[in-house]
Amino acid sequence: MSRSTPATHALLDRLRQVVGARHVLTGAKATHRFSHGYRCGSGAVLAVVQPGSLVEQWRVLQACVAADVILICQASNTGLTGGSTPDGVYDRPVVVLSTRRLTGVQLIRDGQQVVCLPGATLYELEAQLRPLGREPHSVIGSSCIGASVIGGVCNNSGGALVRRGPAYTELALYARVDETGCLQLVNHLGIALGDEPEAMLARLEAGEYAPGDIDPADQRAASDHRYADHVRAIDAATPARFNADATRLFEASGSAGKVALFAVRLDTFVKDAATHVFYIGTNSAGELTALRRAILANFKALPVAGEYLHRDCFDIAARYGKDMYIAIRKLGTDRLPALFAAKARFDALAAGLPFVPASLSDRVLQWVADRLPDHLPARLWTWRDRYEHHLMLRVTGEGLAETRAYLAAHFPSADGDVFECTPEEATAAFLHRFAAAGAAIRYRQVHPAEVEDIVALDIALPRNGEDWVERLPEAIERPILHKLYYGHFLCQVFHQDYIVAKGTDCVALEHAMLPLLNLRGAEYPAEHNVGHLYEAKPALRAHYAALDPCNVFNPGIGHTSRIKRQPNVTGHCDAGH
């Protein structure tokens, strides 16, 4: 609902005063790339507002809460379940608060921790930590396309790092609307900034605090300290991690946009001096199960990552993820967010023109990619031809000897084999694995006559599970054109993208799949969060309701109610708004 009324006019005027007219976007074309999700989700917006400072962000929140509109905070909009965009119809106008301009990473406590502002990306964080020989808490597939640190915390994003678990912190600075309808600033960052909201935010952004203002806050976690032990518990009947895990929901962590974050404080980690990658191929799923259990139960050093790719996914990614792969290799990750933004602008422009086919940019990029020389190293292709299941195991120097010894004792086998990657092969293998995440979407864009849509499942299997290969009944299998299986194998987190034939009811298909997952003890979503695709389980619902009792922020997330809840006291708020 974005009908123009005197009240919405007044709000737009106020927002323009706060951030400047060029940072208040209105109209379908200008707002397209903020109102449409990466893979799914879209809805009308009254405006997209892009504050240029934390104080401006606070004033935007004040104006929007006073005007009784819905607020959806958005960082880099790489979420895969539509959780950072509107979706469908609401009872109030929607304002998207885009934090892209609010970049900034502040190193504290000699770089052992960082404070990240709302638009800071994982890439930016990695770059700042590199000279210190340290690295971030998280590496996800979208790190290279500009995913933010805060978006990751809000989603409890997982990713590839076996030793560190999902993004998690108990230290954050955020605004919420309390049960009386008043906007409050909550400082749980563990940094003394004063009491007056605007002065606090200005101080934080300018980095005007002394080491003595920083509480070590040892009683509050700034990462998931328990994960390494947790993932090793291979006889536990529950998954190692999943979004509705109540033990990982804490204020900002897992908040899915139900508060407005200004900053989070996170641990950083000593960078591994050198890593080595083993590329394992097998036609026996049981062989990978045995390997997983042996590593997690017996290895002294946990691997850095253990990423899985099925052969069918290898093939689709090799073709439909090729230009992404080449762009990252040739241009570097720092230019990718700008390229994505340019593509989104082009798509928005083209969408309004007559006689222009849908998804023109994807078609052109695919046409070019199909004519470029092959991009993957020869040994990856050899393994692709021989083996159905592929596992890339990245280990540190500390874990190298035991990994080599185990693999030498078990491979080659009747069903599988392994090779130790050169640095070039290692980079290629992991990049190829991450290009898989966007490949199904590209397939859909360039084959609109053949494809109805993608059904994308993000699941976590129990740690004691031994049978991780999915077998679907024929009735479910029939309309599926391609199945893409890939994921974080040692954590038993799998992404399963099904490319579904034209004319199929994809929602019904997905609903038919979920009971089968329940029978296998799966939790879903594992790490992409509920967005508007999945129903939030009770722990998540309770977390959302406690953070946002009046349902002002991102209503409807996880199939919760979209309706405003009346404040229980109607009185005056103090300086909040």
Interface ranges with ligand FAD (CB under 6 A): 38, 72-80, 83-84, 99, 118, 140-142, 145, 147-148, 150-152, 154-155, 157-159, 256-257, 259-261, 437-438, 527-528, 554
In 3D space, the residue among 552, 575, 573, 282 whose CA is nearest the CA of residue 411 turns out to be: 282
Judged by beta carbon, residue 307 or residue 470, the one nearer ligand FAD is 307
Instruction: Write the CB contacts of 432 (distance below 8 Å, at least 6 apart in sequence).
Output: 309, 314, 317, 318, 321, 325, 376, 380
Judged by beta carbon, residue 150 or residue 182, the one nearer ligand FAD is 150
Minimal distance in Å, beta carbon 570 to ligand FAD? 26
C-alpha span between 330 and 323 (Å, rounded): 10
Minimal distance in Å, beta carbon 434 to ligand FAD? 6
Concatenating the DSSP letter of every residue in 488-509 gives EGGGTEEEEEEEEETT--HHHH
What torsion, rounded to 10 degrees, do the Cα atoms 140, 146, 150, 155 define?
-50
Judged by beta carbon, residue 260 or residue 418, the one nearer ligand FAD is 260
Give the nearest residue (CB) to ligand FAD. 151
The three-class DSSP label of residue 113 is strand
Judged by beta carbon, residue 156 or residue 403, the one nearer ligand FAD is 156
Minimal distance in Å, beta carbon 78 to ligand FAD? 3
Judged by beta carbon, residue 322 or residue 416, the one nearer ligand FAD is 322
Judged by beta carbon, residue 75 or residue 380, the one nearer ligand FAD is 75
Judged by beta carbon, residue 153 or residue 395, the one nearer ligand FAD is 153
C-alpha span between 571 and 569 (Å, rounded): 6
C-alpha span between 250 and 265 (Å, rounded): 13
Minimal distance in Å, beta carbon 162 to ligand FAD? 13
Minimal distance in Å, beta carbon 27 to ligand FAD? 21
Minimal distance in Å, beta carbon 151 to ligand FAD? 2
- Residue pair 392/281 in contact by the 8 Å Cβ criterion: no
Minimal distance in Å, beta carbon 441 to ligand FAD? 8
Orientation angle between helical segments 311-320 and 378-386, nearest 10 degrees:
140
Judged by beta carbon, residue 2 or residue 85, the one nearer ligand FAD is 85
The three-class DSSP label of residue 143 is helix
**Is the peptide bond between 479 and the residue preceding it cis, with omega within 30 degrees of 0?**
no
Minimal distance in Å, beta carbon 2 to ligand FAD? 18
C-alpha span between 571 and 127 (Å, rounded): 47
Maximum alpha-carbon separation in the chain: 75
